[in-house]
């Protein structure tokens, strides 16, 4: 099971903003478990805090040269190289104090941020790490033909196609599974770049004031001007690094296979908004022994240790209470973006009755499989009797399941379950399980 991570001790750095050209001092301090990444503007009297979140993402259309967070008029921008380092190195909780609104550009890559984090020491915390879980493909595109598809995966993999109408950059492709090791060696050193013909356009827009031939690869028709590439395919590597930084604006890591074509900050953040609607799940293994409270209450991580279901077929958000072999109560929030609404009466979305029964059965399965002698086994349906559906379940409803035991033996169990919304029964059924080895 993954644990959250932060740095062992505080550390600092100074640099110049790539776009503002102003000097900025930054202090990095360990963050408490579950606190996330928090920027603090210490140059302002009130020391306002800006937590890394999609809610604070500044929405912009068209070509973006940086990613920006804003809350109550307070901004922090050009954050993508730093966030890429946090994402790539697995940092969950961090306090970042800075005395200006732009993060230093340093050498135009994430390498110095990675080195700084390693000098400070990366340590595990007691809290469980949650990731963004998707159970189905998610895609975004723009009118110019750029696109990104996120596919379900048990690891973070990026497949990026770079396609520039330029004689030197042209077309390139790279695929990489992102780990702290691959990020540090294969992606972090890749520097930002721009076309030589864009330099004056950027300057007239007030951008690139801190950029130079050292921290930015300026690309002319014949190659890189006054600099050398660190990798033959440094451009596509940097695009992947930017994408990783933008993905981390969700504030939690992602497990998915991202297939991107010519994407930039604008499209990256469009995907981030789509991903943010999907639930956060802890990485836990089925069959592990969870710590169960005296009243039987469990969060979704504990549930996932007991039953093998995973997105998009995990329908239990939490267990409210449980009496051993007698009674269990669980809940599920029916999200408006549940995948089944797309095909089940999409003009008037209703939760399918069979899935209500499946959710009810999963709650009953938790009770059956929480017994020590059943740990790591599977509970299979043998029979459903007397199923009744009394009223529809709609997007935004919260289902409460109460499952009461009848006869329970070592390998079988007869249960009666009811599902309700706001105290009104919406479905009920008699269920019978058989417990079997994996």
Q: Provide the annotated active-site residues.
A: 265, 344
Secondary structure of residue 354 in the 3-state scheme: helix
CA dist 274 → 151, 267, 270 (Å): 13, 11, 7
Count of C-beta atoms within a 10 Å radius of residue 223: 13
Closest CA to 236 of 291, 146, 163: 163
Beta bridge partners of 217: 193
- In the chain the first and final C-alpha atoms are separated, in Å, by 20
Write out the H or E segment, with its range, that includes residue 270.
helix 265-275
CA distance 203 to 139: 34
325 φψ region: left (φ > 0), alpha (ψ -120 to 50), beta (else):
left
Sort strands 94-98 and 37-41 into parallel, antiparallel or unpaired. parallel
* Token code pair at residue 10: 């505080």
CA distance 393 to 46: 46
Beta bridge partners of 431: 384, 415
34 φψ region: left (φ > 0), alpha (ψ -120 to 50), beta (else):
left
Count of C-beta atoms within a 10 Å radius of residue 273: 14
Beta bridge partners of 273: none
* Token code pair at residue 42: 């210490």
Contacts with 284 (C-beta within 8 Å, 6 or more apart), sequence order: 1, 128, 301, 304, 305
Residue 88: phi, psi to the nearest 5? -65, -35
């Amino acid at each position: 099971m993954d644990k959250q991570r932060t740095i062992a001790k505080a550390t600092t750095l100074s640099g110049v903003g790539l776009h503002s050209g102003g000097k900025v001092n930054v202090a990095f301090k360990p963050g408490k478990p579950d606190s996330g990444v928090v920027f603090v503007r210490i140059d302002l009297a009130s020391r306002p805090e800006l937590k890394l979140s999609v809610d604070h993402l500044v929405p912009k259309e068209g070509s973006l040269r940086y990613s920006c967070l804003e809350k109550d008029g307070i901004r922090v921008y050009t954050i993508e190289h730093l966030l890429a380092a946090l994402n790539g190195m697995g940092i969950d909780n961090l306090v970042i104090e800075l005395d200006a609104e732009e993060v230093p550009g340093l050498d135009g890559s994430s390498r110095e941020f990675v080195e700084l984090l390693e000098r400070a020491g990366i340590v595990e915390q007691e809290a469980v790490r949650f990731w963004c879980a998707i159970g189905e493909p998610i895609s975004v595109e723009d009118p110019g033909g750029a696109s990104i598809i996120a596919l379900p995966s048990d690891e973070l993999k990026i497949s990026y196609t770079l396609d520039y109408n330029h004689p030197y950059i042209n077309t390139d492709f790279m695929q990489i599974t992102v780990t702290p090791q691959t990020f540090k060696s294969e992606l972090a050193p890749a520097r930002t770049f721009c076309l030589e013909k864009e330099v004056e356009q950027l300057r007239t827009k007030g951008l690139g004031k801190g950029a130079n031939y050292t921290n930015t690869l300026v690309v002319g028709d014949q190659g890189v001007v006054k600099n050398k590439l660190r990798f033959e395919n440094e451009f596509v590597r940097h695009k992947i690094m930017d994408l990783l930084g933008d993905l981390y604006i969700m504030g939690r890591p992602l497990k998915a296979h991202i297939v991107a074509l010519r994407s930039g900050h604008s499209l990256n953040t469009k995907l981030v908004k789509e991903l943010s609607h999907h639930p956060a799940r802890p990485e836990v293994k089925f069959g592990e022994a969870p710590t169960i409270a005296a009243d039987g209450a469990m969060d979704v991580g504990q549930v996932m240790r007991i039953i093998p279901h995973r997105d998009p077929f995990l329908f239990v958000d939490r267990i409210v209470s449980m009496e051993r072999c007698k009674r269990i109560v669980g809940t599920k929030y029916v999200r408006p973006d549940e995948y089944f609404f797309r095909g089940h009466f999409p003009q008037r979305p209703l939760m399918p009755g069979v899935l209500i029964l499946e959710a009810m059965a999963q709650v009953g399965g938790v009770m059956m499989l929480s017994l020590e002698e059943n740990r790591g086994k599977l509970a299979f349906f043998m029979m459903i009797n007397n199923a009744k559906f009394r009223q529809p379940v709609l997007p935004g409803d919260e289902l409460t399941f109460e499952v009461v035991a009848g006869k329970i033996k070592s390998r079988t169990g007869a249960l009666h379950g009811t599902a309700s919304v706001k105290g009104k029964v919406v479905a009920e059924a008699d269920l019978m399980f058989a417990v079997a080895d994996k």
